[in-house]
Structure 1
Amino acid sequence: MPDLPYEWITPDLGDATSPQHELHLWPHRSLPKRGFAGFIGGTFLLLLLPLYPAIGSPVLWGLLPFLMGTLWLLYWAIQRSYRDGDVLEELRIWEDRVRLERHARHRATQDWEANPHWIEVVLHATDGPVPNYVTLRGAGREVEIGAFLSDEERVDLYHDLSRYLPARG
C-alpha cells in the first residue's frame, strides 16, 4: 500500500476516555522541507549563471535585483503554499459518538459530532464537487472528510472508514 497522507492512531486502551479508533488526515506534500532547501539552493546556483559573465561590469547591478527578486518571489510562493496547506483533520470514534475536527491555520476549528450507529459513510463517485468525494452523514448534517486527498486516496479512505462505520452510499 502506498504511503498515504493519513494514519490511524493506536488508542490508549488503558484510558477509558480515549477513543476506540482515531484517524489523522493531512494534505500530501510533494516537496518536503529538505527538498525545498535543495530546490531553492539549486535555483540560486542556476540564477547565478547569467551573472558570471557580468562580474566586474555595470550589467551585473542591472541583472542582480531582478534575479534575486525572482528567487525571493519563488521562496515566498512556496512558503505560502506550505502555510495554506497546514490543515489537520482528526476523526475520533468512541462507542457512543464520533467526532470530526478540522484544524486550519488562522481559522477557527470546525467540528462535527454524531452517534456512530446513525452515521453513513458515503462515496460520491461522480456527483460530488470532485470525483470520489467522501462524506459522513449524520446528526442532520453531511460533512466532507479528506477533501484535499487525491481521487485514489479518497477511495482508500472510504474503504478504511467503512471498516469502522456503516457504508450505505
Structure 2
Amino acid sequence: MSENNLKPEKNDDLSVTDKPFFTAVLTPYRSLGSNGFLVLMLCFGLISFVSGILFWRIGAWPVFGFFGLDVAILWFAFQMNYRSARIFEEVALSRHEISIRKVGPGKNYQEYCFNPVWVRLTVKRIEDEGVVKICLTSRGESVDLGNFLNPDDRTSFAGAMANALAVAKAGGA
C-alpha cells in the first residue's frame, strides 16, 4: 500500500472533551395546566351564563352581555399568560464554552457564548426571599439567567451552575 492511500486519522479527542457535560432548560412554572384551564373556563362560563339569564329575566338584559364580556376577557388574559409561558432558556456548559440561548415568544431568540475560564457567576440573595438574580459576566458582557424562575428553583439552578462552572474551570468533566 502506498503512502498516498493513507488517510489521516480523525482526532476525536477534542470533540469528546468539548461535549457539554452540563445542560439545563429553564422554563417558567404555570400552576394551571390545559385541563385545569378548560374546567375553569367551563365553570366560569356556566356561572356567568346562569347569572346572565337571571338578570335577563328580571329585565336587566344588558347585564347578560357584560357577563359574556367577562368570560371573553378572562379567556384573553389566560391566553396572554400562556403565550408568555412559551419562553425558555437553554444553558450548555462544556470545558471550552458556555452556550446560552434565550427563546422568547414567537421566533425571537438571543444566543450568547462565553469561555468558562473568563466567566464570573454572580448570585444575588435576599435573606427572606433567597436567590433573586443569577448573572454571568465575561469581558464586559452580562447575561441574566432564570429571571422567570421562582426563588427555590433559582437557588437550585444557581448551585448547579456554580458546581458545573467550577468543574469547567478546573479542567474536569
TM-score, reference length from structure 2: 0.75
Aligned to 2:47: 46
Amino acid at match of 1:31: L
Work out whether residues 113 and 139 of structure 1, in 8 Å CA contact, stay in contact via their aligned partners in 2.
Answer: no
Q: Within 5 A, what are the aligned runs for 1:1-169?
A: 16=16, 18-53=19-54, 57=57, 59=59, 61-106=61-106, 108-126=108-126, 132-166=132-166
| Number of equivalences | 149
Work out whether residues 27 and 148 of structure 1, in 8 Å CA contact, stay in contact via their aligned partners in 2.
Answer: yes
Tell me how far 1:138 sits from its aligned partner: 1.8
Separation in structure 1 between the aligned mates of residue 132 and residue 60 of structure 2, nearest angstrom: 53
The 3 A distance-change label for structure 1 pair 109 and 53 is closer
Query: Which structure has the larger Rg?
Result: 2
Tell me how far 1:106 sits from its aligned partner: 3.4
Which stretches of structure 1, 4 residues or longer, exceed 4 Å deviation after superposition? 15-18
Work out whether residues 120 and 166 of structure 1, in 8 Å CA contact, stay in contact via their aligned partners in 2.
Answer: no
TM-score, reference length from structure 1: 0.77
Q: 2:166 aligns to what SS in structure 1?
A: coil
Identity of aligned residues (%): 20
Tell me how far 1:145 sits from its aligned partner: 0.3
Mind listing any 5+ residue stretches in structure 2 that lack a counterpart? 1-14, 168-173
